[in-house]
Amino acid sequence: MANSLFQWLIVSVFSLIHPLYISIIDINHNAKDKELEISVRIFTDDFENTLRKYSTAKVDLTHPADKAGTEKLVRTYLLNHLSIKVDNKIMPLHFIGFEQQQESTWSYFEIPAITSLKKIEITTSILYDYQEKQINIIHAKVNDNEKSYRLDNPKNYAAFNW
């Protein structure tokens, strides 16, 4: 117990000195609704700093002055930095929206008409244009079988087979 507490303390102190730059992409096959549900979690301050490079307007994801404009900015950025293939076919991502949860911005997408699948391929460079130390973690779940992959910048491709 004392060793675990010591390790937690060391990691916490190290994180303050060297912040972590991590985004998480969750992909879930909803067999009942025959779709892939995708959520992307990005630390809000990192995401805002990145989006400011692409906008002349003020970027505030927590309290956007122009919700429609901010949604368009978020959607455009993510669609330019994330693509998904299902069984070797590039799939269009349908943007649902985004929301704030504590220190993170969650963005949601879906891919309809996915009855079954054997392979998912993900290409992502989310926040690679912001931070050289960016890490993108991908979790994919199909038929209650979950697999994960870690992409350290500049690696941008992961594939899962079922």
Model confidence over 49-96: pLDDT tens digits?
999 999 988 999 999 999 999 999 999 999 999 999 999 999 999 999
Residue of higher predicted confidence among 8 and 67: 67
Residues 141-152 have pLDDT tens digits of 999 899 999 999
Mean pLDDT of the region 7-14: 51
| pLDDT averaged over every residue in the chain | 91
Phi and psi torsions of 66, nearest 5°: -125, 90
This prediction has a pTM of 0.86
Q: How confident is the model at residue 18 (pLDDT cuts 50, 70, 90)?
A: very low
